[in-house]
Structure 1
Amino acid sequence: MELRHLRYFIAVAEEGSLTLAAEKRLHTAQPSLSRQIRDLEYEVGVPLLLRSARGIELTAAGKAFLDHARQSVTEAEAAVEAARRAAEPDKPVFSMGFLTGMEVEWLPIASRILRDELPNIEIRVVSQYSPQLAEDLQRGKLDVAFLRNEQKQNVEYRVVASEPLVVVLPSDHRLAAEHEIDPRDLVGEIFIGMSDIPHVLRGVIDGYFAKLGLDIKPTHVIDNFAMAISLVASTRGVCLLPAYAENFLSWSVVSRPLKGESPTIDLMLGYNNLNTSPLLRLFLTRMENQAVTPAR
């Protein structure tokens, strides 16, 4: 059994289709993928997949196998990353990830925390969606990341900031004249909602409206705050975003606080608890000992 067999099986299980897994994820021919899956099932000794008119479903054995397959692939990728880092002992690398837009506020803070080590280390920085950052932490590609609370095995989180959500709307919108916006006034407006990618933010927004008993359904859904701001300007819609997005508003878009108790969303510092890097331990310790909430 080879790692490629596990990757093929995971792709099929997640896509629910041999065709989609072959074309979208693996870029291989579907007959070849089917043959690889049959070889895997032969080696395991039990059927892992059920093929039906609805697509591919996992057997009980397949469900049990999937968890272990994911863990094996993750550990293999982490081992490769660790080996690559060990090959450059003279210049340790500390890799940091930021939820897109957060690097503006948090990279200076993170750099200040590591200022004594900067002459001797290489810092690598990436900006990405929160789910991808969590996956990179799990796979050992990042030492730390500033992101949302994504559920990933071996990834632990510490809250570093909690920020309110604000209303983002066109600067000449009728509600822009208000100092605070009553959430009930958003009913009937074109509402820009969140997709499955920023699912933590979507959950906060949905929970807020449900708590108030407001029936507000998205007219459009987006993946990130930049898309949200663009759609607010182009459709004359409104949306709820974390307050840090105020740093990126164009002249045609403004933000206003919500009236009453505003919903909040946590920014987390994530790391892999299997990472034994001394730099990571130093960074976590210094984060605990400093006031790190960015000024607004």
Structure 2
Amino acid sequence: MELRHLRYFIAVAETGSLTEAAEQRLFTSQPSLSRQIRDLEDQVGTRLFERSARGVDLTPAGKAFMEHAKIALNQVDAAVEAARRAATPSKQRFALGFLTGQEMNWLPGAMHILRDELLNVDVTVSSDYSTELAEGVARGKLDLAFMRAEPDFDLAYYIVDKEPLVVLMPSDHALTERAEIAPQDLVGEPFIAMAGKAKVLRSVVDDYLERSGVHIVPSQSVDNPAMVMSLVASTRGLVLIPSYVQNLMPWSVVSRPLAGDAPTIDLAVGYSKSNQSPTLRLFLSRLDELIARHAAERRMNVNNT
């Protein structure tokens, strides 16, 4: 079994189509890809896919194989990245990732921790979806990321904040007259649900609505904070979102807190347990300091409003 077999298998599994995987992900022919998949199934000793009206679906054996195939490829990518770093030891690199928008809250404190290391370390910063950050950490592209605790990745997580959810709505919506919004107030309103790559947030929102005895059929689904703002303004929909997104609000969108015991979503730093970077160890050793600094800044901001 070769690594290409695993890459081909994952591409087909994620697209659900031999043709789409061949043409758009792997840039090969569909017959050639089909042969590679058959070879893989022969080596595994069982069928990994079954055809359906929509394309191809994973068999139970395929689903079990998928989990381990991803881990194996992530470990290979991490090994390659570690080798490249070892080959150029003159100046270390420390790659930080942030859930889009969170860099406003956490980057200054993170750089404060690293200030004594900056002469010897090149710090890079990027922002992305939480799942993309988790994959970057798993593959060794990122040393540490501020993100959700994604359950599908074998990473270590340290909770740094519990963010309350708030309601976003158009700035001229009738509910803006209320200081707080009850979950029952959402009934009958166009509701924008989180979906796709924002599945951790979607789970928190769904659990909250279920506990509140509120049943809502979303009118739209989205996983991008910028698109959330656009849909709130254009469709006059409401959405439950972590409070940090208030940093990104245009004038046409406002927020209100939820009444009562508002749900929260964890913000964590995620890192690979096998990462031996001394800069990572330093950063982790001072996480409590970073959390305290962030809490103090938040209290100061509240007192000044």
TM-score of the alignment, normalized to the shorter chain, above 0.5: yes
Contact 1:197-1:223 at 8 Å conserved across structures: yes
Counterpart Cα distance in 1 of 2:199 and 2:109: 26
Between the two proteins, what is the percent identity of the paired residues? 57
Partner of 1:83: 83
- Aligned-residue offset at 1:172: 1.1
Counterpart Cα distance in 2 of 1:245 and 1:6: 37
Contact 1:161-1:293 at 8 Å conserved across structures: no
- Aligned-residue offset at 1:45: 6.1
Partner of 1:186: 186
Counterpart Cα distance in 1 of 2:176 and 2:286: 41
Counterpart Cα distance in 2 of 1:179 and 1:269: 33
Counterpart Cα distance in 2 of 1:66 and 1:100: 28
Distance 1:67 1:199, change over 3 A: closer
Contact 2:135-2:153 at 8 Å conserved across structures: no
Contact 2:50-2:59 at 8 Å conserved across structures: no
Would you say 1:49 and 2:48 are equivalent positions? yes
- Aligned-residue offset at 1:190: 1.0
Cα-to-partner distance string for 1:140-174 (whole Å, 9 max, x where unaligned): 11110000010144301011011111111111111
- Aligned-residue offset at 1:13: 3.0
Counterpart Cα distance in 1 of 2:240 and 2:49: 42
Partner of 2:39: 39
Contact 2:191-2:239 at 8 Å conserved across structures: yes
Contact 2:95-2:141 at 8 Å conserved across structures: yes
Where in structure 2 are the equivalents of 1:7-156 lying within 5 Å? 7-42=7-42, 44=43, 46-54=45-53, 55-58=55-58, 62-156=62-156
Counterpart Cα distance in 1 of 2:44 and 2:226: 49
Partner of 1:230: 230
Cα-to-partner distance string for 1:184-219 (whole Å, 9 max, x where unaligned): 111111111111211111111111110011111211
Partner of 1:267: 267
User: Which one-letter code corresponds to 1:30 in the other structure?
Assistant: Q
Contact 2:49-2:62 at 8 Å conserved across structures: no
Where in structure 2 are the equivalents of 1:189-268 lying within 5 Å? 189-268=189-268
Counterpart Cα distance in 2 of 1:7 and 1:47: 18
3-state DSSP of counterpart to 2:251 = coil
Distance 1:164 1:93, change over 3 A: same
Counterpart Cα distance in 2 of 1:163 and 1:268: 11
Distance 1:179 1:66, change over 3 A: closer
| Ranges in structure 2 where 5+ consecutive residues have no aligned partner | 299-305
3-state DSSP of counterpart to 1:197 = helix
| Ranges in structure 1 where 5+ consecutive residues have no aligned partner | none
CA RMSD of aligned residues (A): 1.9
Structure whose residues are more often helix by fraction: 2
TM-score (norm 1): 0.93
Distance 1:149 1:56, change over 3 A: same
Contact 1:135-1:152 at 8 Å conserved across structures: no
Q: How many residues align?
A: 295
Distance 1:45 1:188, change over 3 A: closer
Counterpart Cα distance in 2 of 1:252 and 1:71: 43
Partner of 2:294: 293
Partner of 1:157: 157
Distance 1:67 1:254, change over 3 A: closer
